[in-house]
Structures are given as C-alpha cells and as structure tokens.
Chains A and B, each alone.
Chain A
Amino acid sequence: MTLQEKEQEIIDEFAIYDDWMDKYEYIIELGKELPLIDEGLKTDNRLIEGCQSRVWLHTDFDGENMQFSADSDAIITKGIIALLIRVFNNESPKNIASSSLRFIDEIGLHEHLSPTRSNGLASMIRTMKMEALKKV
C-alpha cells in the first residue's frame, strides 16, 4: 500500500462519522489502543515540548525505510500520532519528506496542526520530515 493509499484508507474510515464527538471517540480509541513507544525511550532528548501537551518521538532507519514510535501525555494527541505513524511507517525518507498529509485536512483535524494549538503535533511532523530529509 502506498503512502497515498494509506491516507485514503484513513479518509474512508472517518467518512462514516458525521458527528464530531463520534470522530473524537474513534481518535481516543486509537490513542488508547496503541503502545506507541518503549518507556525507556521517553527521554528528554526525544521530547517535543508543546504548550498544552507533550510528545516523545523516536526514529529508526533500516537503510531503506523509516520507523517512528511516539507517545503523548494527552490521549487525543496520541490518537492523531497513531494515524501519522500508520501513514509514515515503512515509507522511504523521500516519500515522507514530500508527503502533504492531506488526510489531516480531509478528516477535519487541521486545527491540531496549527502552531498556535501548541499540542506538539506541528513540531512533531516537522521533526519527522527533518529526520527523513537527513536520510534522502
């Protein structure tokens, strides 16, 4: 499945929700389900400090594709991270660096990526792309 196909899959999953609270119920479930990061990796050098919530991000590269694991102290932030990781994991640095992440807009979560939202997500995506760019 290509990165774009994974994005489309998420867009289709969210299409069934026409109520905001149902949408967030699903995001919260995603946040609760995923053990995203090894506790030992939640160190200060992996911490992205947001004004509202905090995000820890760990990056791996096997020479071909990238792997991310991450966590947040806020469950909604964590749910959105789960979606980002689903899209970015096992993708080449080139694909990640050039991705527009249109699914975020399509499912109505763009507000979470605004720098003023200060939940660490905007900085996290920036860091993910920077890490990818280093490997291109």
Chain B
Amino acid sequence: MNETIVKLDVEKIRSQFPILHQEVYGKPLIYFDNGATAQKPKSVIDAISKYYTKDNANIHRGVHHLSQIATEQYEDARKIIQKAINAPTSEQVLFTKGTTDGINLVAFSFGQMLKAGDEIIISEMEHHSNIVPWQMLCERQGCILKVIPINEKGELKMDVFESYLSDKTKLVAVTHISNTLGTINPVQEIIEKAHALGAKVLIDGAQSIQHTKVDVQELDCDFFAFSGHKVFGPTGVGILYGKKDILDAMPPYQGGGDMIAKVTFAKTTYNELPYKFEAGTPNIAGGICLGTAFEYLNGLDMDAIHDHEQELLAYAESELKKIDGVRLIGTAENKTSVVSFVVEGTHPFDVGTLLDKQGIAVRTGHHCTQPLMDIFKIPGTIRASFAFYNSKEEIDVFIKALQRSVNMLL
C-alpha cells in the first residue's frame, strides 16, 4: 500500500458512511455507482435529522425565532458553497433542484435573450440534460445547435470545436467530465477560445464536483451547474453559479414568492440576486445540508483523494483488461475514476443483474447518453464509478464476480 492511501485512511472514511456497512443478497455491499449518486457521510445525515428535529421553518419572511435560524443556516450554506467553488459573491450562487434544473434555468432565461440564427455548441458526450434543454431552446427561438464530435478514445475533437466557433456562437455548453466515459474535458481551453469570440460558456459540473477542486474564477466560466447529491449532499438540491453581469441581465425563470420586490396587478418588479431566480419555498434542508457536505469535504485532502481515485482507476482498468472479451469504452488520456466497458457476447443488463446478486452495485445501460451509445454502436455499457471510500480490495471482489458472471453468460 502506498503512502497516499495511508494518508487518506480509507477505512476511517468508510466508517463515516453508514450505508456502506450492510449486506445485499447476503453479500457485503460494494457500491460502484457513485457517478449516479454518492453516499452521504454521517454528518450530513445527522444535519438533515437535526434540521427537521429542531430548526424547521420557512425562510426569509418569518419574524419568529425558528424562521430566523433556518434563514441564517440556509444563507450560511450558500456562503460555504461560495467559498468551496470560489465564487466572487454569494449572490452568484443560486440554489436549484440540481444540475438539470440549473441548465434549464439558463436555457430558458439566457435563452430568451437569443435570436433566430444564433448558435449554441454542445458535444457528443453530453448527458441528455445538457442536450434536450438546448434542443427545446432551438425550437423556441430558432437557434442552431452544433455538436462537437469525439474521437475513438472518447475525447473532444478540439479542431472541429474551433471550426464551429464564430461570431454567431452565443453559448458553449459542455460537460466538465463525461458521466459515461470519464473523460476530463479541456474546459479551460474551451472557455478561453469561446470567450475570444464573445461566446459565453456553461460547464456541466455534475460529475466533476465530486472528483476535483472547482474554482469558477480560475476557470472563468460564465455558468457552472452541479447537483448536491453527487457531492455527498442530499438529493433535490443543486447549485447554479453565474457571472453577476450576465445573471443581472437575464430575465427571471419562474415566477412566485421570494423572487419579487413588489407585486401589483399593474406591474410587478423583481427581487435582486440570488432571489430573482429562486421562486417559491426552496429545499431548505437540502440547501443547509449541502453546506454540511462541503464542510465535510473541506476536512479532506483533495489531492490525496485525487491520487487514491486515480490509483483505483488504473487498477480497475488493468484488471479488467485481463478478462477475455472486455472492451473499455472511453480511454481518454485524461480520465476520472469511471470505467465503462462491454464484454463481447454478453448484454450489459445481464452482467449488471448478476453483479447485483453478488452484492455489487454498478450501472448498466446508456447512462442518459443515447447519442454516445450510437456513436460506439453498443446498446449500453457496464459502468463502475469509484469514490474515495472505495478500495482496491473491493475491485478484486468485483473482478472475480464479473468473471463468474461472464462464465455463466457465455
């Protein structure tokens, strides 16, 4: 065992995640579906319980004690998250329902400022949630969608991207890390090149927020969207970061309470950031406990996590290659701890079902990236996605279980 793993102390980390210590179908649970959602540390679970046991009240308008406490905690969480992603101000950190909600907010609101003929660039490796909102926008406004192709390793063809950029390009919306392939995209370069031609850039950070230290100012992205549940926080809450001048210029997304300054039947005026984009009672517990999740992460060494996850990735890939018929899907030079693969002569659904019965949770199917499956000409993949609480020992069990499954199916 090398020094990094000792430093990270995987066993200690595992002890902080209660859900990992259970059996399914009589076998110890091995959770390799972190790309879909990450498990929650005890501190987050306790914070959810504490909120509903002691602090629950509606925020922002109550004069009573509980309402003030809930409001303070909610706004404190916003500040914790602001610091975590290094946003210049907390008003640029909008609470959403998740990544999908954040992208839809931009597609609807920023999209209203676009006109027919304006161009939006996405890529072939996008999740459906970073494809469909733009298609809907194009239908509404007559904009044109351009799609950056990928090479056989699952990397963006950057020369084609550059050829798509022009003064007609108004927005580039790309994923930071592919949920299916694990590819880490050169978003810094994409942002620089898009900005050079005056286009704005939205980064889908659903996958990256779990694995990397995100600094929105260093990236210089115009929007950054992610989900709380993928970063060890609760489901149903997420964040959209945006540059202030752009958010100020954008019209509101949804109407309702909290997002208004004054309502009359003659004319309604809107609240300031961030509330302009936060209509209705939000997911208060979710927001507060997402703050708790970031506090948990603050106590960890992100460099050690990165090294550990890279070691898991390298080990899993080398062990998988020893199994006859395994074909890795996504072999980019720069990858996060996700391995997608198919096994010749077997269907991903069958492999996934048999792994499940051996206690191993992986994801099978198209991973909400159907166009990508068409490009690789496969019905789906088996995807194992690792988090920092996973271990090499778990990969050993997984490889054995996979071999047994394949033997049964062939």
Q: Which residues of A contact B (CB under 8 A)?
A: 20-21, 24-25, 28, 51-54, 73-77, 118-119
Contact status A53-B357, CB under 8 Å: no
> Would A51 and B365 count as touching, CB distance under 8 A?
yes
Interface size on B, residues (CB 8 A): 20
* Contact between B380 and A28, CB atoms less than 8 A apart: no
Of chain B, the residue at the smallest CB distance from A29 is: B408
**A75 near B379 (CB under 8 angstroms)?**
no
Please report the C-alpha to C-alpha distance between residue A20 and residue B401 in the assembled complex, in whole angstroms.
13
In whole angstroms, how far apart are the Cα atoms of A118 and B364 in the complex?
A: 11
CB–CB B408/A52 < 8 A: no
Closest 3 CB pairs of A and B: A74-B347, A20-B357, A74-B349
Question: What CA separation (Å) do A123 and B130 show in the bound complex?
Answer: 29
Known A21-B357, A24-B354, A24-B408; contact A119-B25, beta-carbon cutoff 8 A: no
How far is the CB of B316 from the nearest CB of chain A, in Å?
A: 22
B347 partner residues in chain A, CB cutoff 8 A: 53, 73-75
Can you name the residue of chain B whose Cβ is closest to the Cβ of A118?
A: B365
Given A25-B408, A75-B409, answer yes or no on A53-B354 (Cβ-Cβ < 8 Å): no
Give me the interface of B with A, judged by CB distance under 8 Å.
25-26, 346-350, 352-354, 357-358, 364-366, 379-380, 404, 408-409
Apart from A21-B358, A74-B347: 8 A-B pairs, beta carbons within 8 A: A20-B357, A21-B357, A24-B408, A25-B408, A28-B350, A53-B347, A73-B347, A74-B349
Which one of A51, A73, A76 contacts B353 once the chains associate, using CB atoms below 8 Å?
A76
Residues of B within 8 A of A28 (CB): 350, 408-409
Residue of A nearest to B368 (CB): A51
Q: Identify the interface centre among B347, B352, B364, B365: most chain A CB within 10 Å of its CB.
A: B347
Q: Evaluate whether A52 and B25 lie within 8 angstroms (CB atoms) in the complex, with A21-B357, A74-B347, A76-B350 already known.
A: no
CB-CB < 8 A to A54: which residues of B? Answer: 379
**Cβ–Cβ < 8 Å partners of B358 in chain A:** 21
Tell whether A52 pairs with B409 under 8 Å between CB atoms, given A21-B358, A24-B354, A24-B357: no
Chain B residues within 8 Å of A20, by CB: 25-26, 357
Q: A43 to chain B: closest CB distance in Å?
A: 18
Alpha-carbon distance A54/B349, docked complex (angstroms): 10
In the complex, which residues of chain A have a beta carbon less than 8 angstroms from the beta carbon of B349? Answer: 52-53, 74, 76-77, 119
Min CB–CB distance A73 → chain B (angstroms): 6
